[in-house]
C-alpha cells in the first residue's frame, strides 16, 4: 500500500482573488512504504507547497491526498492534526528545534500533544543514540552545530514511529560533509526501517543519491525517475 | 515557563511592567482599604448616635454638661453622655490632610453598651473610674509615639515651636487597644477629670478662667431608645432643649462618608493600573506570537492542534502575569510598610494591605494574564500553518 498518494492535486494561493498564485497544478504522485524520494526543483517550483500538502498542513484547492489509504479531504483540522502527528514526521531546513528545550526535550516534544508517554524518555534517548547524539541529550539548540541540530530533528521525526518523514531542505544550512552525513543517516534509517522519506531539495546532487527523484517545475511534476543508487558513502556524493 | 527564562530581557520587562501596574494597584488599594475602614467605622459610630453641641456657636467649642439632664428628659432618649475630644498632637494635623487626627478622648464607659464601635485591649487594661493620670492608647497612636504599657508620656504632645505657655501633663500608659482599623486606633483615652482639665487648658485665656472645668465637655452624645427615629429625635432635642444644637445622624454621617468619592478615585487608579498591566503583557504576548510564528508552525507540524499551542500561550501569559503580580504585590506591601513607617511620626499612616486586597490583586492579575493569553491565543488560531512553516 502506498504510504501517501496524491491525485490531481492543485493549490492556488489567494484563490479567486486578484493576484492568485498557482503553486501546484495537477500533481499526481504515489510514495510507497519504505521509499527514499527526493523532490528536486528551483525555488518557487512548488516543492514546499507539495510537502505541506503531503504533511496535511495545507488543504489543496482541488485533488486528493491519501495517507495510508485514508482520504484526508473529509477530515477535520483536528483529525488531520492527529493523523499528521501519528503518521508523519518533519525535518526542516533551519531552526528546527524549540530554543528553550534541551535536545532530549525536543525529541519528546511530539508527545506533548496527546500521545502516550510510557517509556518515552527511554525511546527518546535510544533515538538520540541512533542519530549519534546521545552525548548531547541535555544540550540546548544554541549549543549544537547545525548538523547536530538536524540529527536531533531526525530523532524527533522518528519519535512516534511514523510511516513517512517529510524533510524540507534538511541539508540547506550545513556544509557538504555534514550534508553527506545527514543524508547517510536518513538513508540508514530508511534502510533499517519501513519509513518512507520525501526530501525536498534544490540540489540535484542530493536528489541523485535517492532511490527516486521527482523533479518539480512551475508547480507540476516535470519528471519522475527511479534511480539505481548505492548506499551513500560519507563525503562520496559530490 | 521555560520561554520566560529563555527570553530574560523581554520577560523581565514584561514582568516589570505588570509589577508596576500591580504595585500602583496595591498602593492605591491599600489607601482605599485604610480610608474605607476609617470611614466605615466613623459612619457606624455616628449613625448610631446624635451629636449635640452648644447652640450659641461657642468659639471655644464646648458645651456645658448641665444640659445633659435636660436632654435626658426628652422622650425617646435612652442616654445622654458627655464626650471630650482634643487634638493629641496639635501642630501636626495641618501638615497631614489625610486620615484621622490623633485625638485625646473621653468617652463615658456606659457608651460601650450603645455604641456601634467596641474596643478591646491588646495589652494592659482599660481605664478605671476615678483614676487620674492614666491613658489607654489606640494601636496606631501607640506605634506612632513608640509607647507601651508602663511608659509615661506627656499629653497633648508638645509640638515643635510651641508657645511658651503650652501646657501638657504626664500620663501613664495603662493599656493599648487592639487595632480596629478605624477611629479608636488614633485615640488616647483618658478619664473625665483629666479630659476636662485638658479641655479647659485648651480654651482661650479670656474664656478659660470663667468656666467650671467639671461642667465642660466638647459635646454630648445621645443614644435613642430602640425603634426611635434618631433624626426626628435630634430635631426634637434642638427644639426643646435651649442652648444646644443636635445634629441629625444622617447629616453627620454625610460629612463622614467620603469613602464613595475616595473609592471612585481609587477605582480609577486601579483601572488605569490594570490597563497598563494588560497593555504591557498583552503587547508582549502578541509580539511573542508573531516572533515565534515559526515555533507555532513547528508545533503544529508535530501534531499540535491550534488549541494546544493557544493553551501554551495562555499558560505563559498567566504565569508571567502571576510573577509580575506577585512581585508588584510584594513591592507594594513593602513600600506601603516603609511609607507608613516614615509617615508614622507625623501621623501619616495611610496604607492597609488586607487579605481582601491581596485576593483582588491576584485575581485581577490572573484575569489580565488570561485576557492577554487569550488574545494571543486568538492570534494563534488565525495563524496559517502553511505560512508559519515557511517562517521556520
Q: Dump pLDDT digits (tens) for A35-66.
A: 999 999 998 899 999 999 999 988 999 999 99
Give the cell for residue B25: 494597584
- pLDDT of A238 reads 46
Q: How far is CA B137 from CA A238, B49, B177, B201, in A?
A: 94, 23, 6, 21
pLDDT of the residue at B133 = 92
Does any CB of chain B come closer than 8 Å to the CB of residue A82?
A: yes
Q: What H or E segment, with its residue span, contains residue B222? A: strand B219-224
Print pLDDT tens along chain A (238 aa): 788 999 999 999 887 788 788 899 999 999 998 999 999 999 889 999 999 999 998 899 999 999 988 899 899 988 898 888 888 999 987 767 888 889 999 999 888 886 666 788 899 999 999 899 999 999 999 899 988 999 999 999 988 889 899 999 888 878 888 888 888 889 888 888 889 999 999 988 888 888 899 999 999 999 998 887 655 554 444 4
**What pLDDT is recorded for position B255?**
66
* pLDDT attached to residue B95: 43
pLDDT (0 to 100) of residue A229: 63
Q: Output the pLDDT for position B17.
A: 82
Residues of chain A with Cβ-Cβ distance to B2 below 8 Å are 100-101
Given this model, what pLDDT does residue B258 score?
59
Name the residue facing B392 among A82, A94, A156 (closest C-beta).
A94
Distances A29 to A52, B20, B263 between C-alpha atoms, Å? 14, 59, 71
User: For the segment B262-281, what is each residue's pLDDT rounded down to a tens digit?
Assistant: 667 777 777 777 777 777 77
Query: How much is the mean pLDDT over chain B?
Result: 82
Nearest to residue A91, comparing CAs of A74, A110, A112, A105? A110
Q: Which residues of A touch B306 (CB under 8 A)?
A: 77
Give the per-residue pLDDT at B279: 79
Top-confidence range, A8-22, B166-180, B344-358 = B166-180
Cα(B201)–Cα(B213) distance, integer angstroms = 9
| Cβ–Cβ pairs < 8 A, chains A and B | 71
Q: What is the pLDDT of residue A201?
A: 92
* A94 vs B contacts (CB less than 8 Å): 392
Q: Is residue B261 scored above 50 in pLDDT?
A: yes
Calculate the alpha carbon distances from B324 to B48, B190, B283, B314, B319 in Å. Answer: 44, 48, 15, 15, 9
Gap between the Cα atoms of A150 and A139, Å rounded = 14
Flag whether residue A78 sits within 8 Å of chain B, measured between CB atoms.
yes
For B392, name the nearest residue in chain A, comparing CA atoms only: A95
> With an 8 Å Cβ cutoff, are B301 and A84 in contact?
yes
Could you give the CA distance from residue A101 to residue B89 in angstroms, rounded to a whole number? Answer: 63
Kindly report, residue by residue over B1-59, the tens digit of the pLDDT.
555 666 677 778 888 888 888 888 888 888 888 877 777 777 777 788 898 888 765 55
Residues of B engaging A, defined by a Cβ cutoff of 8 Å:
2-3, 5-6, 294-295, 297-306, 308, 384-386, 389-390, 392
pLDDT digits (tens, 9 = 90+) for B313-341: 888 888 888 888 899 999 999 999 898 88
For residue B378, the model assigns a pLDDT of 82
C-beta atoms surrounding B275 within 10 Å: 13
Render pLDDT for B85-130 as a digit per residue (tens, 0 to 9). Answer: 888 887 654 444 456 678 999 988 888 888 877 788 999 998 888 7
Q: How far is A191 from chain B (nearest CA, A)?
A: 23
B259 pLDDT band, cuts 50/70/90, is low
A114 at the B interface (CB within 8 A)?
Answer: yes
What is the pLDDT confidence band of residue B170, given thresholds at 50, 70 and 90?
A: very high
Tell whether A19 is within 8 A of chain B (Cβ). no
**pLDDT value at position B257?**
57
Which residues of chain A neighbour B297 with C-beta distances below 8 Å? 57
What DSSP character marks residue A30? E
Please give the C-alpha separations between residue B391 and each of A3, A75, A151, B174, B388, in angstroms, as whole numbers: 27, 26, 20, 76, 5
Cell numbers found for residue A86: 501519528
Q: What are phi and psi of A2, to 5 degrees?
A: -70, 140
Measured between beta carbons, the chain B residues lying within 8 angstroms of A156 are 302
What does the pLDDT read at residue A25? 93
Q: Which residue has the cell 468656666?
A: B211
Q: What percent of chain B has pLDDT over 70?
A: 89
pLDDT at B249: 87
Q: Which residues of A touch B6 (CB under 8 A)?
A: 99-100
Instruction: List strand residue ranges (DSSP E) for chain A, in order.
Output: 2-13, 21-32, 36-40, 62-67, 70-71, 88-91, 164-168, 196-201, 212-217, 220-226
Does the beta-carbon distance from A114 to B308 stay under 8 Å? yes
Amino acid at each position: 500500500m502506498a504510504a501517501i498518494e496524491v491525485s490531481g492535486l492543485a493549490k492556488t494561493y489567494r484563490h479567486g482573488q486578484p493576484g492568485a498564485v498557482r503553486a501546484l497544478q495537477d500533481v499526481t504522485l504515489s510514495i510507497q512504504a519504505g521509499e527514499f524520494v527526493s523532490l528536486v526543483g528551483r525555488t518557487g517550483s512548488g516543492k514546499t507547497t507539495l510537502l505541506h500538502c503531503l504533511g496535511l498542513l495545507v488543504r489543496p484547492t482541488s485533488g486528493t491526498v491519501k495517507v495510508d489509504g485514508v482520504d484526508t479531504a473529509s477530515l477535520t483540522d483536528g483529525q488531520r492534526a492527529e493523523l499528521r502527528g501519528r503518521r508523519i514526521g518533519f525535518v526542516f531546513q533551519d531552526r528546527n528545534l524549540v530554543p528553550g528545550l534541551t535536545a532530549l526535550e525536543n525529541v519528546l516534544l511530539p508527545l506533548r500533544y496527546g500521545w502516550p508517554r510510557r517509556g518515552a524518555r527511554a525511546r527518546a534517548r535510544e533515538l538520540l543514540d541512533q542519530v549519534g547524539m546521545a552525548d548531547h541529550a541535555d544540550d540546548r539548540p544554541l549549543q549544537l552545530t547545525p548538523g547536530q541540530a538536524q540529527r536531533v530533528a531526525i530523532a524527533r521525526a522518528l519519535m512516534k514511529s511514523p510511516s513517512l518523514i517529510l524533510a524540507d531542505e534538511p541539508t540547506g544550512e550545513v556544509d557538504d560533509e555534514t550534508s553527506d552525513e545527514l543524508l547517510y543517516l536518513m538513508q540508514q534509517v530508511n534502510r533499517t526501517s519501513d519509513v518512507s522519506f520525501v526530501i525536498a531539495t534544490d540540489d540535484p546532487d542530493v536528489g541523485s543519491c535517492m532511490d527516486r527523484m521527482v523533479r518539480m517545475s512551475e508547480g507540476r511534476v516535470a519528471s519522475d525517475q527511479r534511480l539505481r543508487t548505492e548506499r551513500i558513502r560519507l563525503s562520496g556524493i559530490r | 515557563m521555560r520561554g520566560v527564562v529563555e527570553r530574560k530581557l523581554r520577560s523581565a520587562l514584561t514582568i516589570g511592567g505588570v509589577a508596576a501596574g500591580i504595585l500602583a494597584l496595591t498602593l492605591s488599594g491599600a489607601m482605599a482599604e485604610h480610608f474605607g475602614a476609617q470611614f466605615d467605622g466613623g459612619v457606624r459610630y455616628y449613625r448610631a448616635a446624635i451629636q449635640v453641641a452648644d447652640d450659641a456657636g461657642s468659639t471655644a467649642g464646648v458645651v456645658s454638661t448641665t444640659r445633659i439632664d435636660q436632654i435626658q428628659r426628652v422622650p425617646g432618649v435612652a442616654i445622654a453622655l458627655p464626650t471630650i475630644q482634643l487634638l493629641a498632637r496639635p501642630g501636626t494635623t495641618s501638615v497631614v490632610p489625610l486620615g484621622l487626627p490623633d485625638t485625646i478622648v473621653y468617652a463615658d464607659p456606659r457608651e460601650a453598651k450603645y455604641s456601634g464601635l467596641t474596643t478591646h485591649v491588646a495589652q494592659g487594661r482599660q481605664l478605671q473610674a476615678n483614676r487620674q493620670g492614666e491613658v489607654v492608647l489606640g494601636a496606631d497612636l501607640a506605634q506612632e509615639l513608640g509607647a507601651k504599657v508602663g511608659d509615661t508620656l506627656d499629653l497633648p504632645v508638645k509640638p515643635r515651636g510651641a508657645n511658651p505657655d503650652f501646657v501638657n501633663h504626664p500620663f501613664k500608659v495603662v493599656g493599648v487597644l487592639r487595632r480596629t482599623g478605624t477611629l479608636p486606633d488614633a485615640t488616647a483615652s483618658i478619664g473625665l477629670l483629666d479630659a476636662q482639665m485638658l479641655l479647659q487648658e485648651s480654651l482661650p485665656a479670656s474664656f478659660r478662667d470663667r468656666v467650671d472645668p467639671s461642667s465642660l465637655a466638647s459635646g454630648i452624645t445621645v443614644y435613642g431608645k430602640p425603634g426611635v427615629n434618631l433624626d426626628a429625635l435630634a430635631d426634637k432635642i434642638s427644639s426643646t432643649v435651649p442652648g444646644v444644637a443636635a445634629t441629625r445622624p444622617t447629616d453627620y454621617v454625610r460629612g463622614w462618608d467620603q469613602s464613595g468619592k475616595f473609592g471612585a478615585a481609587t477605582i480609577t487608579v486601579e483601572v488605569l493600573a490594570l490597563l497598563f498591566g494588560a497593555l504591557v503583557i498583552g503587547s508582549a504576548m502578541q509580539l511573542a506570537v508573531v516572533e515565534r510564528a515559526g515555533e507555532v508552525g513547528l508545533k503544529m507540524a508535530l501534531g499540535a492542534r491550534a488549541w494546544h499551542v493557544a493553551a501554551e500561550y495562555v499558560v505563559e501569559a498567566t504565569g508571567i502575569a502571576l510573577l509580575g503580580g506577585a512581585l508588584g504585590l510584594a513591592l507594594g506591601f513593602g513600600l506601603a510598610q516603609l511609607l507608613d513607617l516614615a509617615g508614622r511620626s507625623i501621623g501619616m499612616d495611610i496604607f492597609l494591605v488586607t487579605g481582601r486586597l491581596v485576593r483582588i490583586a491576584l485575581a485581577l492579575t490572573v484575569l489580565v494574564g488570561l485576557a492577554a493569553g487569550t488574545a494571543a491565543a486568538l492570534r494563534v488560531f488565525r495563524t496559517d500553518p502553511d505560512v508559519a512553516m515557511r517562517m521556520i
